[in-house]
Amino acid sequence: MERLKIATVWLGGCAGCHMSFLDLDEFLIDLAGKVDLVYSPIADVKEYPEGVDVCLIEGAVCNDDNLEILHQVRARTKVLVSFGDCAVTGNVPAMRNQFGLGNADNVLQRAYIDNAQFNPVKPRQDGIVPLLRERVQPVHELVRVEYFLPGCPPPADCIKALMVQVLEGKTPKLEGRQLKFG
């Protein structure tokens, strides 16, 4: 059997979900024996490849760059898993939505002008610094998502439970506290 191609992606989040992924410890070794990790923030690959079987996607969609990556990932991935609360609910990155639509400018104002001690200036480097989107959105509001793994972060054993089932080609069945938000 051909080895499955696995990817993990990091959008607007704290990388805590990836830390939890690394907490899989020895299961990572089992995993490495069965799959190819073709793209991940923990692997030095520049371009998201075609034909990925399973992708865990961490983080909410906060800026144009996130969105562009997300669309690319969706187009090149068979099974997309919303990985962690930011991807599933928007979580902490989405708290800025409470300040209304079109708040991107206010956010920058607060961060880079109001609270600046030196050199107050809003970062704007077109083509280099991605523009903030009007509102932060969870992944499933923008593209189709096959499975959801909430948690902040999802505990390693939940990731393992999900991965084992997905790798066996099953529809993963998580229940009870495995699905806890937060």
Taking CB under 8 A as the rule, which mask of x and - marks residues 144-173 in contact with another protein? xxx-xxx-x-------------xxxxxx--
In the region spanning residues 42 to 71, those forming contacts with another protein, defined by CB under 8 A, are: 53-54
In the region spanning residues 83 to 142, those forming contacts with another protein, defined by CB under 8 A, are: 85, 88-92, 94-95, 97-100, 135, 138, 140-141
Q: Are 71 and 60 in contact (CB under 8 A)?
A: no
Instruction: Please report whether residue 143 would count as binding another protein according to CB under 8 A.
Output: yes
**Three-state secondary structure string covering 86-134:** HHHHCCHHHHHHHHCCCCHHHHHHHHHHHCCCCCCCCCCCCCCCCCEEE
Instruction: Please report whether residue 17 would count as binding another protein according to CB under 8 A.
Output: no
Among 115, 125, 127, 177, binds another protein (CB under 8 A): 177
Residue 159, CB-side half-sphere exposure with 13 Å CA sphere: 28
Least separation in angstroms between CB 163 and another protein: 13
Kindly report the CA angle at 147 between 59 and 7, in degrees rounded to 5?
A: 60
- Which residue's CB is nearer to another protein, number 28 or number 92? 92
Q: φ, ψ for residue 14 (rounded to 5)?
A: -95, 0
Q: Could you tell me which of 141, 111, 116, 142 has the C-alpha nearest to residue 129?
A: 111
Number of residues that bind another protein (CB under 8 A): 45
Which residues of the chain form contacts with another protein (CB under 8 A)? Answer: 4, 53-54, 78-79, 82, 85, 88-92, 94-95, 97-100, 135, 138, 140-141, 143-146, 148-150, 152, 166-171, 174-182
